[in-house]
């Protein structure tokens, strides 16, 4: 089909689905042409203005919004809120286009230096088709969040080349460990370097040991986030290119059989086999529920890692401080990192900000 004819069909199909034509049109472009030059946002500094947005679920209590403002300002920033932060549309913080417009507006605003999401939850996948990726590429800034925010962070990196940050949201606990790695990631144009675990037993982290799930060393750009959302993005225009990447994964409240299904999906699509390395974070509360009739015979997630990851023979480790925990790393998506399965280490070797 000629390009002009295709674009006409794409526009018609997109209109029928209520999506921008560019979303469908992008799928005919060879994936290699979607790879962008890596863009690094400017480092943040005390006194900068941080835009707080809610691109996923709504926050029920105004007190939580007020506390988020206090928390971010306590880090030395001033704050502004997206226009739809207090909206509610079902379980979402407003309509899809409205939430996307809050993201777009924060990138457009010259007085905003960085962006942090208020919370995760559900709904970013519905919103990302309406982001203005060309404008975002022209106005690069730090943008941060985790959990459901996984989809937006990886979509922005994939479409623009902008380094994004899988790290705390505004309602997270900003303890000493979280603050240390947040500052290493976004305050200074230097590589984070070797990632060090916190002492065992601090906050909600009784076990800080690293387990090897493979062998050797592997290096590549970091991508990843929440397992269920990485899998959900497969087959969409926003599917993450995992070839040669260091993938990091975390999860929360999923029973082992669901984790099994998702890891098996990644394995059967061939994505796991194409990785340069794999980093498993914390799979918090991913245990069988007692009302499950197979409760007593369930695999543990650790057993699933042995079944699905070890046979790959790739550099892989588990137990890194990524996920729904208080001691939370900030992981820059798009910069190079090295996994050493023999030494059980993760080293982020490239600066994430300029």
The two structure tokens encoding residue 352: 């994430």
Q: pLDDT value at position 294?
A: 66
Q: Which of 6-20, 272-286, 299-313 has the lowest mean pLDDT?
A: 6-20
Extended strands (E) in the chain: 49-53, 78-81, 114-117, 142-145, 164-166, 193-194, 211-212, 217-226, 246-252, 277-284, 316-318, 331-333, 336-340, 345-348
Question: Catalytic pick from 84, 158, 271, 324?
Answer: 324
What is the average pLDDT value for the chain, to the nearest integer?
91
Question: Catalytic pick from 239, 250, 251, 255?
Answer: 250
| Position 21 confidence tier, pLDDT thresholds 50, 70, 90 | low
Active-site annotation holds for 27 = no
The highest-level CATH class for domain 49-172 is alpha beta
Question: Catalytic pick from 57, 84, 101, 147?
Answer: 147
Q: pLDDT value at position 293?
A: 67
The answer to whether residue 257 scores a pLDDT higher than 50 is yes
CA distances from 50 to 53, 67, 112, 113, 144 (A): 10, 15, 6, 6, 11
Is the Cβ–Cβ distance between 144 and 330 less than 8 Å?
yes
The answer to whether residue 4 scores a pLDDT higher than 80 is no
Q: Which CATH superfamily is domain 193-348 in?
A: LD-carboxypeptidase A C-terminal domain-like (3.50.30.60)
The answer to whether residue 322 scores a pLDDT higher than 90 is yes
Q: Which of 5-19, 26-40, 217-231, 292-306 has the lowest mean pLDDT?
A: 5-19
The answer to whether residue 5 scores a pLDDT higher than 80 is no
- Ranges of each domain in the chain: 49-172, 193-348
Is the Cβ–Cβ distance between 210 and 339 less than 8 Å?
no
Strand order, beta sheet including 49-53: 78-81, 49-53, 114-117, 142-145, 164-166, 331-333
Rg (CA), the chain: 20
Q: In sequence order, what are the residues at sequence separation of 6 or more whose Cβ sits closer than 8 angstroms to the Cβ of residue 156? A: 131, 133, 136, 143, 162, 164
Active-site annotation holds for 324 = yes
**Mean pLDDT across 212-225:** 98
Helix (H, G, I), strand (E, B) or coil at 332: strand
The answer to whether residue 277 scores a pLDDT higher than 90 is yes
């Amino acid at each position: 089909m000629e390009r002009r004819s295709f674009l006409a069909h794409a526009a018609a199909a997109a209109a029928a689905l209520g999506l921008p034509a560019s979303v469908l049109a992008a799928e005919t472009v060879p994936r290699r042409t979607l790879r962008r030059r890596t863009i690094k946002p400017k480092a943040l500094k005390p006194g900068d203005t941080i835009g707080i947005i809610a691109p996923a679920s709504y926050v029920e209590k105004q007190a939580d919004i007020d506390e988020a403002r206090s928390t971010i300002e306590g880090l030395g920033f001033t704050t502004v809120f997206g226009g739809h932060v207090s909206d509610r549309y079902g379980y979402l913080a407003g309509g899809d286009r409205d939430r996307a417009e809050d993201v777009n507006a924060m990138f457009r605003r010259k007085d905003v230096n960085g962006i942090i999401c208020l919370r995760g939850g559900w709904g970013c996948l519905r919103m990302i088709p309406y982001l203005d990726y060309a404008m975002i590429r022209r106005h690069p800034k730090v943008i941060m969040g985790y959990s459901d925010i996984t989809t937006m962070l990886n979509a922005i990196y994939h479409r623009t080349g902008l380094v994004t940050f899988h790290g705390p949201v505004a309602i997270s606990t900003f303890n000493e460990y979280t603050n240390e790695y947040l500052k290493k990631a976004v305050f200074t144009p230097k590589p984070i370097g070797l990632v060090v675990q916190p002492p065992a037993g601090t906050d909600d982290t009784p076990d800080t040991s690293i387990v090897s799930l493979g062998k050797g060393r592997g290096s590549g750009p970091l991508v990843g986030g929440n397992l269920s959302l990485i899998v959900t993005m497969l087959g969409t225009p926003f599917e993450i290119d995992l070839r040669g990447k260091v993938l990091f994964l975390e999860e929360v409240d999923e029973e082992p059989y669901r984790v099994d299904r998702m890891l098996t999906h990644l394995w059967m699509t061939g994505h796991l086999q194409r990785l340069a390395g794999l980093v498993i974070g914390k799979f918090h509360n991913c245990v069988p529920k007692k009302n499950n009739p197979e409760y007593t015979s369930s695999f543990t997630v650790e057993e699933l890692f042995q079944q699905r990851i070890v046979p790959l023979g790739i550099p892989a480790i588990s137990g890194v401080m990524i996920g729904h925990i208080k001691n939370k790393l900030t992981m820059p998506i798009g910069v190079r990192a090295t996994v050493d399965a023999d030494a059980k280490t993760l080293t982020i070797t490239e600066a994430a900000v300029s």
